[in-house]
Amino acid sequence: CHRALRGVEASLLRPGISLPSRAGSQIQGTPGIPRQGRRRKSLAIAYEPGQGDGTEPRRARWEPRDWREQLQRIREMRRSRDAPVDEMGVQKCYDSSAPPQVMRYQVLLALMLSSQTKDQVTSAAMLRLRRRGLTVDSVLQMDEETLGQIIYPVGFWRNKVKYIKQTTAILKEKYGGDIPSTVEELVQLPGVGPKMAHLAMHIAWDSVAGIAVDTHVHRISNRLKWVKKETKYPEETRVALEEWLPRDLWKEINWLLVGFGQQTCLPVNPRCSQCLNQDICPAAKRP
């Protein structure tokens, strides 16, 4: 009997013969019958780089052609530090002997006045304000007509009078007379844009939160092709530059390009013949 039973079971377990699940469960539980476990073949799955293997694909960071050499040559051209921004820029407009809080307020006011205004005009207006004791309280006590007379002829001076009064009131009420310490808060103030906010962080707080891009930095970055695609607005240029320019250069780049734009790479009729980058500048007018 035992031999007959083993013969039946062997025939049932031959390859190609399937057992009902019920019968299978009975056989697996029968004493003396070895389990015939099937081993699944492990298949090696090939992933594309960065897909399912726990790593991200490495993308080559885009960089403008010849930018390091162009930058070094601009440094050489700016070595004398004799552009208007060097002598009368915002970093020269505040009272360095004032208490830190007052100094920071003066930096912010100088930046607000500097928009659409030559450095010479901004510097003169700041000097007149400082002669009256330029603090949050002194500006709040000043009427708009008097403030306008002092800051004239800075660009859009009527609007700036309103912005200065509104911003100063906010600083007094919300920040205890100091200025905000983040770009996000600074740009919420009336009359303060991204460029001013980043420069305020650089100069007033000695903190680099981003690149300050004004009309000079915007123009020159496009002429040198320091942006992947042409940008129309300074804020676009800032984003494009920050994608590739090493962070340790963010603070320096504004000072370098502003002075370069004031002296050599002019908005109209740039002095290409005097520029050390003439042979490697995409926009250069070559002889």
Query: What is the distance in angstroms between the CA of the first residue and the CA of the last residue of the chain?
Result: 111
What's the pLDDT at 49?
41
Which segments in the chain show pLDDT lower than 70?
1-59
d(CA 164, CA 253): 28
What's the pLDDT at 286?
80
What's the pLDDT at 2?
47
User: Is-above-0.75 flag for pTM?
Assistant: yes
Is 75 in a helix, a strand, or coil?
Answer: helix
The answer to whether the beta carbons of residues 101 and 205 sit under 8 Å apart is no
- Residue numbers annotated as active site: 195
Please return the burial class of 212, using the count of CB atoms within 10 Å of its CB with bins 0-12, 13-18 and 19+.
Answer: buried
The answer to whether the beta carbons of residues 105 and 177 sit under 8 Å apart is yes
Residue 256, Cβ neighbours under 10 Å: how many? 20
What's the pLDDT at 58?
59
What's the pLDDT at 54?
52
Alpha helices in the chain (DSSP H): 2-12, 21-28, 67-77, 84-88, 100-114, 119-131, 136-141, 144-151, 157-174, 183-186, 194-203, 215-223, 234-242, 250-263
Please return the burial class of 15, using the count of CB atoms within 10 Å of its CB with bins 0-12, 13-18 and 19+.
Answer: exposed
What's the pLDDT at 229?
96
Give the residue among 104, 124, 101, 100 at the shortest CA–CA distance from 114.
Answer: 124
Give, as one character, the DSSP assignment of residue 215.
Answer: H
pLDDT tens-digit readout, 80-117: 999 999 999 999 999 999 999 999 999 999 999 999 99
What's the pLDDT at 42?
44
What's the pLDDT at 191?
98
Task: Look at the block and give the residue holding tokens 């162009």.
Answer: 70
Please return the burial class of 236, using the count of CB atoms within 10 Å of its CB with bins 0-12, 13-18 and 19+.
Answer: middle
**DSSP per-residue codes, 122-167:** HHHHHHHHHHT--SHHHHHHS-HHHHHHHHTTSTTHHHHHHHHHHH
